[in-house]
Amino acid sequence: MNFNKIGNSTKSTILALSSAVFLTIILLSVSSNNPLQSISYFFSGPFSNLYNFGNMLDKAGLLIFAGLGMSIAFRAGVFNLGGEGQVYAGATAAVIISISFDFPGKFTGIVTVISIGIIMGALIAGLSGFLRKQWDTDELISSFLVSGAIIHLADYLISSPFKDNSSFLNSTVKIPEILFLKQFLGSSHLNLSFFIAVIISFAAFIYLFRSTIGYESRLSGLNRKFADYGGIPVKRHFIIPMLISGGLYGAAGSFAVLGNFHMGIKGFTSGLGWNGIAVALIAGNNPAWVIPSALIFAYLDAGTQLAMIHSDLSFEFSNLIKAVIFFLITVRRFSIKKENPIG
Amino acid sequence: MSRILLNMQNITKIFRENSLKAVDSANLTVAPGEIHSIVGENGAGKSTLMHILAGELTPNTGSIQFSNRIVNFKAPLDALKEGIAMLHQNLKLIPELTVLENIILGIEPASKTGLLNKKEAYNRIENLYNEFEIYVDPEKTIKTLTADEKQKTALLSILYHDIKLLILDEPTTFFSEITTDSIHKLIKKLKAQGKSIIIITHKLKEAIAISDKITVMRSGKTVANINSSKIDIKQLSSLLLGKETLPEVKYKTISPGEILLEAKNLTFKKGNTEYLKLDFKVRKNEILVVTGIRGNGLETLEQILSGSVNQTEGEILYKNNILETNKYNLRRIGAGYIPSDRINTGASIKSTISENIILLKYKLLSKWGVLNSKKIKSFSTKLINEYSIKGFGNQKVATLSGGNIQRVMIAREMEDEPELFIFADPSRGLDIASKRFIYEKIHKLKNNGSGVLVISSDIEEAIQIADRLLILYKGKEAASLENKNIDRSYIGKLMLGLGE
Amino acid sequence: MSTPILLAALGGLLTELSGVLNIALEGLMLIGAFFAILITQLTGSILLGCLGAAFSSALLAYIFGFVTLGFKANLFITGLGVNLFALGFTNYLSTIIFGSKGVIKFLDFPELFSFGNNNIFVYISLILTGLFVFLIYKTVFGLRLRATGFNASVAQIKGINSYNIQMKSILISGALSGLGGAAISLNLGAYVPNMIAGRGWIALVAIYLGRKHPIGILLTSIFFAGAVYFSNDAQGIFQVPADLLLGFPYLITFISMVIFSILKSKR
């Protein structure tokens, strides 16, 4: 394969992922008492039994939602940095609605709860989009700040008014069983949400690359002046992508509750927001690649978790791995040159 | 003196994007204290050759000898250190900084601790004023200066250094009359000091009047090197155009139809300055060219028409209805518009040709909100063929040459045969063949019933395609003429505000 | 109070002026906070602790600059990477060295030198503010910095290497953010996970609200600190739950940002 023919972004993705794996191996070897065993757990752990495999897929499903959300935002040239808050808000809203009302039927109940989660996420992100449209407020910072505030609000709700006082965890009571998403791979958490995520990614692809709105969005993201000049209503595409992005994050949160946790626990969705960004980046912000990207990421994540559990490691290095990925994945120049060449 | 200051030999420059030989085995010799003009048409290679000399581009072949040494410039700063400086058409000034800051940037007089020594700079600037009679207030920010003052600042920036050779790129094209005079004075003074000056110009009369020697360039080659005293304009002209002149194309004349676009007392005022105050009409079957020297209202006109700026007074009527000035007005009336800011506004270089070309049509090429890829493909293929665009539909626009990018834009805007077409600087930076192509398309459009408004600061172009000319000076109409047997120099005079 | 924000904001100002938006301030501060405690504990000297904090953050900032400027990586993503790295790395070191991921507090920890009601960091930051006014507007470095930020290609033509200038500003930003982090942890005498609590982001907003001028930043930092102080008081007076209180700085900063944009757009 001619190395030069591979696009720069593919190169950097390969670089980032291989470095991540490499770093994981090093960290495992260095900190574990039995490096070989840890490393083998890292690579084969997620496939070792149905439970691990199913959980990995389940996590991948949530990551697909998050990754799609970020991809759509990125393509529109909009930066949603509030994923953490939007997921958590969606999840918390889902929990609160679930435990506060009686639902007559499984289907209506689940649809209602998920919808509420989506709306929560969408509104929060949409706020930043609106502010950008209206007053040119930087949405990157505003979405992060709102998310920061919301996280603490949700923390409060779970730890205080909705707390399950009989539990020693900072958690709420369990949501009614009628709302549980059916688990169908042994005792793992794998449920319908994974398949819904897959379907949504097809929808996202069609939206982004085959629809008129997607076209408008993408062109606004690539060159806003050009889109403006062509008559595309550019202002719309500050809000719409944020709404969709937030909505998908909110969906991830609600599905996590209904399919996985079945209750609210303080900080339970933490990391999904940042992971969504990672997944989108690995996928090159293309919905077509989000599924494999999410699977890869879920695999790496699950592998590290299992390796850690089985090797008596006491620290979390998922943030370090993510940092490496973030550092390397947007690299676009592969030779060291300190001056800008001219002519 | 028989000494040689500069000797450029066998210089060739090929730009990768279009494998065009911008400069082809060019030669240039300049003596100390000599005023040397380089003349040629647009695209002849004059600017490129000088950019190489000034250290901004590296040649593919050839050598440069300066002050009896072979030099190899890797950056403009290298050339500057040797004493070679170039004054560009697009002035390299930073608007947010002051005149002083712009001048000293990079060579700041300072103490050992890095503290700026502004006093020294002030003194130096004052000396320059005394010597050359060019003055701008050093404390003003560039943003607040007039076009003339900006040019003067750029000049001062260069004179601040120890210059042995000064390159001026079309210096008097954009100056008012007063500044033109001081430029000529400056050139004579530098010559008296033993410095050399190279002037890039297409004004043959001026070249003959002011230079000692003239080099003629054509299609990248240096075809002649003559003493200015031994040649007249006619001979110079024919050297310039060469034997390969394309026969002048006679365009059909049609009598103009009804009024499409009308501007009534269109005014733009900011503070105390009136940038524009104009009335004009664009009729069907007619090409109206609004022309003038840059900075005299052309840009303002374009901004108002495209809706990015609101006029302070007056109105624009399209088919007798008032046109609101907002960003989407031209699109709403279905007008075609190619902006002067091509790369940033007129195209999305990271997108494909198809995506660029369907910009105005994507809604029609779709159903229920979903794009029809078959229709899109046939649409772009059709246009690619019709407009001879060298590329494929799914090729990224960034990989195309300038001329081809222009064709993509034209294809997109003209495809619908809009009734009103607005074109800013149609042939700027293009080779002769592409220019010819564009003019043909514009004429075709006009003959089929459209009204075309061209905004251009290029006199030659204006004369070539206009049915009627509207010449702007300081934002107002200096003259409105039919394009019949017009004298170039007459138009030039009008542009400079020298009346009948 | 406002000192950590001010310190980080001043550093961020330099990078901003040079054309680099630095969203890594939070992570850089965290690294500084951790290393300040670590090195002070190891050496017994607050001074060395501060130097260690500044140095370690500058080092991380160097990597950030190197990857972003040298390899054309996306500024925002690498900035986020720095923040994630800081979280992971402090966690890692904390576990390895102290055996715990939680609060690190020592007995016999050196006290911060104070004069009146304010500790030394306050004075340092005030001095730096004045110094920065001078640096930005009256020195060669400042001029070149601003030129690069306004128009890097013109500056390039004048022989100014944008990589060098931007890198220098990134390093200074790192050092100052580290110092800001140290101001937080040394003042407390302990390291608490997530002790930066968004102040790096507040510093970023302070840069804009302060109209990108050191004095403006000083005023906005004081304003933000005041707001946070007030909210701490509120806990006592209004019985506001602790969790909600933690969200208050974010809220205040957000609202300020919005008001600022509204005012700006009306101009």
User: What residue segments make up the domains of chain C, in order of their start?
Assistant: 3-205
Extract the residue ranges of chain B whose pLDDT is less than 70: 1-2, 16-19, 42-43, 172-179, 241-253, 429, 431-432, 496-500
Instruction: Give residue-wise pLDDT tens across range B28-77.
Output: 999 998 999 998 876 678 888 998 998 888 888 899 999 888 888 888 88
For residue A341, is it within any domain?
no
Q: How many CB atoms lie within 10 A of CB A285?
A: 21
Q: Could you tell me if residue A144 is inside a domain?
A: yes
Q: Which of B213, B241, B269 is the last residue of a domain?
A: B241
- A286–chain C nearest CA distance, Å: 17
Q: How far is B69 from chain C (nearest CA, A)?
A: 23
Secondary-structure breakdown of chain B: helix, strand, coil percentages, each rounded to the nearest 5: 35, 30, 40
Best probe of the B interface among A207, A215, A340, by most B CBs < 10 A, is A215
- CB of A312 within 8 Å of a chain C CB? The answer is no
Residues B167 and B299 in one domain: no
Do residues B320 and B177 both lie within one domain? Answer: no
Say if strands B196-201 and B165-169 run parallel, antiparallel, or are unpaired.
parallel
Q: Is residue B358 assigned to a domain?
A: no
In a 13 Å sphere around the CA of C133, the CA atoms on its Cβ side amount to: 12
Distance from CA of C162 to the nearest CA of B (A): 12
- Mean pLDDT (whole number) for C105-133: 77
Residue A214's Cβ-side half-sphere holds a number of Cα atoms within 13 Å equal to: 18
B-chain residues near C147 (CB < 8 A): 94, 97, 101, 105
CB-CB neighbours of C96 under 10 Å:
12
Judgement on whether residues B54 and B149 belong to the same structural domain of the protein: yes
pLDDT band at C58 (very low <50, low <70, confident <90, very high): very high
User: Cβ of C143 and B104 within 8 Å?
Assistant: yes
Q: Are A185 and A292 in contact (CB under 8 A)?
A: no
Measured between beta carbons, the chain A residues lying within 8 angstroms of C71 are 331-334
Backbone angles phi, psi at B61, to 5 degrees: -135, 170
Q: Is residue A343 part of a domain?
A: no
Compute the distance between CA of residue C131 and CA of residue C139 in angstroms, rounded to an integer: 11
A vs B, Cβ pairs < 8 A, gives: 68
CB contact A207 to B (< 8 Å): no
Which one, of A55, A91, A83, A315, lies nearest residue A183 by Cα?
A55
* List of E strands, B132-284: 165-169, 196-201, 213-218, 221-227, 259-270, 273-283
Specify the number of domains making up chain A: 1
Given a cut of 50, whether residue C70 has pLDDT beyond it is yes
pLDDT at A7: 73
Spatial CB neighbours of B254, under 8 Å, sequence gap ≥ 6: B285, B286, B446, B447
Residues of A in contact with B344 (CB under 8 A): 223, 225-226
Rounded to the nearest 5 degrees, what angle is found at the Cα of B474, between the Cα atoms of B471 and B479? 25
Chain B residues close to C141, C-beta within 8 Å: 114
With residue C118 as reference, give the H or E element that holds it: strand C118-119
Full domain range(s) for residue A290: 3-329
Beta-carbon count within 10 A of A18 CB: 11
In this structure, the answer to whether residues B320 and B173 fall within a common structural domain is: no
Asked whether residue C243 carries a pLDDT value surpassing 60, the answer given is yes
Please choose, from the candidates B19, B16, B17, B40, the residue with its C-alpha nearest in 3D space to the C-alpha of residue B28.
Answer: B40
A272 close contact with C: CB closer than 8 A: no
Q: Is residue B82 located within the same domain as residue B136?
A: yes
Q: What is the mean pLDDT of chain C?
A: 86
Structure tokens at C206: 């302070």
pLDDT average, residue stretch C244-250: 85
Dihedral-angle region of residue B369 (phi above 0 means left; psi in -120 to 50 means alpha; beta otherwise): left
H-run or E-run covering B38: strand B35-39
Residue of A225, A230, A342 lying closest to B56 (CB–CB): A342
Mutation target among B348, B367, B413 for the A interface, most CBs of A within 10 A: B348
Distance CA B462, CA C227 (A): 63
A228 in contact with B at a CB cutoff of 8 Å?
yes
Number of domains in chain B: 2
Is ipTM strictly over 0.85? yes
Residue A242 lies in a domain: yes
Angular region, B401: left φ>0, alpha ψ -120 to 50, beta rest: beta
Interface test with C, best of B73, B77, B94, B119 (most C CBs within 10 A): B94
Q: Which long-range contacts (CB under 8 A, 24 or more apart) does C236-244 make?
A: C241/A156, C241/A160, C243/A152, C243/A153, C243/A155, C243/A156, C243/A159, C243/A160, C244/A152, C244/A153, C244/A156
What pLDDT score does A342 carry? Answer: 35
Q: Which residues constitute the domain of residue B120?
A: 6-241
**Contact (CB, 8 A) for B225 and B213:** yes
Q: What is the pLDDT of residues C193-223, one digit of tens each?
A: 888 888 899 999 999 898 889 999 999 988 8
Strand duo B273-283 + B286-292: pairing: unpaired
Backbone φ, ψ for residue B362 (5° rounding): -60, -30
Q: List the CATH number of the domain containing B142.
A: 3.40.50.300
Q: How far apart are CA A259 and CA B209, in angstroms?
A: 87
- Residue C234: CB atoms within 10 A of its CB come to 14
Listed residue (C245, C218, C202, C214) closest to C26, CA to CA: C202
Q: What is the distance in angstroms between the Cα of A225 and the nearest Cα belonging to chain B?
A: 5
Of B183, B215, B241, the one marking the end of a domain is B241
> B440 and B323, same structural domain?
yes
Residue partners of A301: CB distance under 8 A and separation at least 6: A59, A275, A318
Q: What is the pLDDT of residue A339?
A: 47
Chain B partners within 8 Å of A223 (Cβ): 344, 347-351
What is residue C103's DSSP assignment?
Answer: -
Q: Which positions in chain C touch A329 (Cβ < 8 Å)?
A: 73, 77
Q: What is the pLDDT along chain A (343 residues), one digit of tens a residue?
A: 344 556 778 888 888 999 999 888 888 888 777 778 888 888 888 888 888 888 899 999 999 999 999 999 999 999 999 999 999 999 999 999 888 888 888 888 889 999 999 999 999 999 999 999 999 999 999 999 999 999 999 998 888 888 877 777 778 878 887 778 777 777 778 888 899 999 999 999 999 999 999 999 999 999 998 998 888 899 999 999 999 999 999 999 999 998 888 888 888 888 899 999 999 999 999 999 999 999 999 999 888 888 877 776 667 788 888 899 999 988 887 776 554 433 2
Which residues from B are below 8 Å from C140, CB to CB? 108, 110, 114-116
Report yes or no on B220 lying in a domain: yes
DSSP of A107-172, one letter per residue?
HHHHHHHHHHHHHHHHHHHHHHHHHHHHH---HHHHHHHHHHHHHHHHHHHHHTTTB-TTSSSSBB
Are both B218 and B291 inside the same structural domain? Answer: no
Domain with residue A222: its CATH number is: 1.10.3470
Select the more confidently predicted residue: C2 or B456. B456
CA distance A187 to A210: 39
CB of A192 closer than 8 Å to CB of A259: yes
Judged by CB atoms closer than 8 Å, whether chains meet at B94 and C144 is answered as no
B14 and B64 share one domain = yes
Residue A223 forms part of a structural domain? yes
* Final residue of a structural domain among B241, B268, B294: B241
Q: Which residues of A touch C88 (CB under 8 A)?
A: 316-323
**Is the pTM above the cut of 0.90?**
no
Q: Does A7 reach chain B within 8 Å, measured CB to CB?
A: no
- Closest CA–CA distance from residue A12 to any residue of chain B (Å): 19
Q: Do both B20 and B79 map to the same domain?
A: yes
Nearest CA in chain A to C22: A141
In a domain, A128, yes or no: yes
pLDDT of residue C116: 60
pLDDT digits (tens, 9 = 90+) for B83-99: 999 888 777 889 899 88
What distance in Å separates the CA atoms of residue A206 and residue A212, rounded to the nearest whole number?
10
Sheet strand arrangement including B313-318? B321-322, B313-318, B259-270, B273-283, B476-482, B468-473, B286-292, B451-456, B420-424, B336-338
| CB < 8 Å to A339, chain C | 161, 163
